[in-house]
Amino acid sequence: METPVFLINGFLESGKTTFITETMKEPQFARAGNVLILLCEEGEEEYDEVTLAKRNVSVLTIEELSQLTPAFLKQLDNFYKPDMIMVEFNGMWKTADFFELEFPDNWAMAQIITLVDATTFNNYFTNMRSFFMENVKYSDVVIVNRVDEDTDKLGIRRAIKPVNRQAQIMYETAEGIDDSEIEEQLPFDVNADVIEIEDDDYGLWYLDAMDNPSKYKGKKVRFTGMVFYNDKMPKNTFVPGRMAMQCCADDIAFIGFVSKPPENKSVTDYLNRGWYTVTANIKIEFVRQYRGKGPVLYVESMEPGHEPDEKIVYFT
């Protein structure tokens, strides 16, 4: 039987210890058997190891990621015989390095959960953006805690989604999880006969269309983008899009939607990396690059366009 490994990520004082402690009180975890917590960062909150021991929970402090060698992990498996592992990760370590660890054969990654303190979000995002993005980049769930009426939930969502579109974002207030929907204020009219996307709004449109593809099913859109295609793409498809800053200057990527040219046209009729104003109808189809269903643009017309003054798009 596989031993699930849960990675709990986040900066110091983001609530990781409290989250794990409360999780251990849940009935389904109380029946989990032997639980091993690998504590990689110690904050003000401490584990009540005596109480945890009564629930078959052991806590082991890890000072450096380099300690977690294959031999050491195997020793932990033999000594503690864990049925579950919870890793309270160090927010200043790279999550990608954790994936490089060689687990015992019966250990398997189950879930990555990142805790974000809403009261310190702006400070970390502004001054330590690359570290913040490293924390959320691989997360299955992002829990934004200490949320109050002044929390910019939409701003936090717009910061996370460009680098991790699949992550589930949850907002926790003093009363519990706030599952109310966040109303996105879009700068374009999704109910217009033709949705006109201004150059500065491309990032917001891309994010909203990927998150809510059904909203755009059967709609017509017009925007200016750079055409890109190569031999690795499906036959006679291309992507008109823009370069976008996902988290920092070192993380700029080309974003756009899989598209099909007008009838009786081929992608090679258009200049690769050339700029065009695209008018297209949107259908929702399965696309391998999306790893599921998403917007596919059936282009009606493409007219030569001009590169926008602001070459990089953002998601705010």
- The whole model's pTM is what? 0.74
* Ranges of CATH 2.40.50.140 domains, the chain: 195-313
Give the residue among 165, 140, 163, 142 at the shortest CA–CA distance from 153.
Answer: 142
170-210 confidence digits (pLDDT tens):
999 988 888 776 766 789 999 999 999 999 999 989 989 99
- Binned at pLDDT 50, 70 and 90, residue 286 comes out as very high
123-139 confidence digits (pLDDT tens):
988 888 888 888 898 99
Q: Return the pLDDT at 165.
A: 78
Q: Return the pLDDT at 246.
A: 64
Backbone angles phi and psi of 183, in degrees to 5: -85, 115
- Helix (H) / strand (E) element for 122: namely helix 121-127
Q: Return the pLDDT at 163.
A: 80
Query: Are 160 and 169 spatial neighbours (Cβ–Cβ below 8 Å)?
Result: yes
For the domain spanning 3-178, the CATH number is 3.40.50.300
Which CATH code of 3.50.50.60, 2.40.50.140, 3.40.50.1470, 3.40.50.740 fits the domain covering 195-313? 2.40.50.140
Q: Is the confidence at residue 251, as pLDDT, over 70?
A: no
Give the residue among 87, 90, 29, 22 at the shortest CA–CA distance from 59.
Answer: 87
* Ranges of CATH 3.40.50.300 domains, the chain: 3-178
